[in-house]
Amino acid sequence: MTKQSSPLPVRIEVIEYQLPDNIETGISLIEQNPEWSIVEIEKKTGINTRYISDQHETALDLGLMAANKILVNNENLRSEIDVLIFVTQSPDYVLPASACILQEKLNLQTNCMAFDVNQGCSGFIYGMALSSSLITAGLANKVLLVCADTYTKYIAPDDRTCRPIFSDGAAATLISSSVESQIGPFELGTDGKGALNLLVENGGARQRSRGAIQDQKLFMDGAKVFMFSMSAVPKCVENLLHKTNKSISDIDLFVFHQASKLVLDNIIRHLSIPPEKVYCNYAQIGNTVSASIPIGLKDALDDGALKHGDLVMMVGFGVGYSWGACLLKWGVK
């Protein structure tokens, strides 16, 4: 998708995030799976710590806590937010939309538009595209974009492909119009031929129509997802650079979806990006799916890696297959 060619006058006001209390390390994995070589696994993933939601703790619960961190010291915001977007692939229910439940729990006004986006690792970029479009079209003034997932609820204890990678988490991002900050253009795409290579097969209408409802388990063909990433992501970045007449040297900071060390190292190598320009926090947090990019932005800001006036490229990619990238001129007004 290449239609949009100019940035939009939109800014991120604030980002907050919430991780579960339960922490899982490599020690936890080998206690349950003694045949695993945790040294080799962590060498490839680069992930040392994962956050696991409680049995009765959902993506909606984590999203609520993340959003309340923004709202707790500014009660007026509850009446100013006119759009709530909830990006998740682990909703509380098939229906209604989790965003409707979240609107009530956050005590937002009833004239607030609220809807879910079923998107994974590119979900934050898609959500930013929707948010900025609604604002510039005059349909919204302030958008609360909440990205939350609890993939670990779908992962079997002995799943060596998925369990060492995924974490649960949520991020809330407040987005509004701006006179200084800019977002875009966007580069977005989809290749549904890879849809079955990363999925939870059971639980939806397709399996119900066959009368075969079983445990809902996450399946990932790691090799095929890796090859997709190596094909789609560099091309996405290059297309966006070409569209904006920019080069790698013009970008102050890259924040990729925190897939794993193996994936990001190969993307960085393929594109010849100086490693110091790429912010990574997967080692401490893991792969939090749709929340990974906003969590990365928040950590980069807190660490001093993201500064006022920086030009940031954000890139999401994964389940679907889907991908998305955009530029963000980081400002405060």
CB 279, CB 306: distance < 8 Å: yes
Annotated active-site residue 242? The verdict is no
Annotated active-site residue 257? The verdict is yes
Supply 168's token pair: 């649960």
CB 154, CB 161: distance < 8 Å: no
Supply 305's token pair: 């890696």
Q: How far is CA 65 from CA 60, 83, 307, in A?
A: 9, 18, 26
Beta strands in 127-212 (DSSP E): 142-149, 169-177, 182-190, 198-200
Q: How far is CA 59 from CA 65, 99, 115, 128, 164, in A?
A: 10, 11, 15, 19, 19
Q: What is the 3-state secondary structure (H, E, C) of 271-320?
A: HCCCHHHECCCHHHHCECHHHHHHHHHHHHHHHCCCCCCCEEEEEEEECC
Choosing from 147, 257, 281, 326, which is the catalytic residue? 257
Annotated active-site residue 56? The verdict is no
Choosing from 121, 147, 162, 280, which is the catalytic residue? 121
Choosing from 147, 197, 236, 287, which is the catalytic residue? 287
> Which residues are identified as catalytic?
121, 257, 287
